[in-house]
Structure 1
Amino acid sequence: MFFNTTDLKNKEIYLHLYKTADENIEKGYVPAYYFKIMRSIDDIEIGQCDLRIGHNDNTKYGGNIGYEIYKSFRGNHYAGKVCKLLFLLAKKHKMKEIIITCSPENIASRKTCEYCGAELVGIIDVPQWHELYKSGRKKTCQYIIRLDK
């Protein structure tokens, strides 16, 4: 089910796989990869990201990609570059599109989505059953990247 990920790198960063998670139907979780984002020149961890494989009600609101760039490393388009690497892995899984969501107030994430070519589908209401709603997010921006272009 899970593919080799050693090719997920560019001149600036590489993704170091530290765990995978199988599908959990009861919780509505799709299979996922979890990575540490490493800077190539010095092997310093600059953030973390994950790719959730497939689509269901959870990914509609929470997205297929999650990322965090640590504060001192922000402003270098690392999150957008990470997304582009994760698109390669999604294609291996024959995914035709990726959903990325973020809080409407999160301007940096919205710019990241635009940087990597995502199209804003809309700002949608998060249902009360979803973990995002329970953590306080009532609306989410839903972006789509079409991988079959």
Structure 2
Amino acid sequence: MKGRFDKIFKGLFGFGKGEIKLSLAGVYSEDTYIGAENIIKYDIRLRRRKVGYVTIRIGESPQLFYLGHIGYRINEPFRGNGYAAKAVEQLIPIIKRLGYKSMVITTDEDNIPSRKTCEKLGCILEQIVKVPDLFLDLCMGSKTKCRYILII
């Protein structure tokens, strides 16, 4: 797997266009708790200041059905500027290099800003699903998740 990632990330450890930049924070191997084969995490930076992060979770599992392949978080003082959508847009070349044609982003049903991010990205709302008791802790107590499909 290392050779595959070396080829995918060549020249992409820190990149970005426009007001935000992404810097590679880590590539992590299998995480059985969240059901990912690998996790790629980028810090989102605005003029060198970290304003949040975005992750790609590689694999398919019951856990990722509820967590999604892409996750993001913007620190509170920087919310409302579209940074999450801009970060995901910058990840698309990497997602293509990984061979994906689509990825899932999940949000809490009541997280309107995150749902707007998905809509801004052109994601399709696939369904709203009930989170089984088995995965409530993993999903930080969320009882439902909106599953959005990002077509690459």
| TM-score w.r.t. length of structure 1 | 0.88
Question: Could you list the runs of 4 or more consecutive aligned residues of structure 1 that deviate by over 3 angstroms after TM superposition?
Answer: 24-27, 131-134
Is 1:82 the counterpart of 2:87? The answer is: yes
CA distance in 1 between counterparts of 2:77 and 2:34 reads: 34
- C-alpha distance after superposition, 1:46-72 (max 9, x if no partner): 111111123222221100111111111
Is 1:21 the counterpart of 2:32? The answer is: no
Unmatched 5+ stretches in structure 1: none
Structure with greater helix percent: 2
Q: Share of identical aligned residues, percent?
A: 33
Unmatched 5+ stretches in structure 2: none
Provide the aligned C-alpha RMSD in A: 1.9
CA distance in 2 between counterparts of 1:23 and 1:85 reads: 24
Q: Which amino acid aligns with 1:70?
A: N
Is 1:139 the counterpart of 2:144? The answer is: yes
How do 1:67-106 residues align onto structure 2 when only pairs under 5 Å count?
67-106=72-111
| Distance 1:29-1:77 versus aligned 2 partners, 3 A rule | same
Show the counterpart of 1:33: 40
Alpha-carbon contact 1:69-1:78 (below 8 Å) kept: yes
Show the counterpart of 2:121: 116
| TM-score w.r.t. length of structure 2 | 0.86
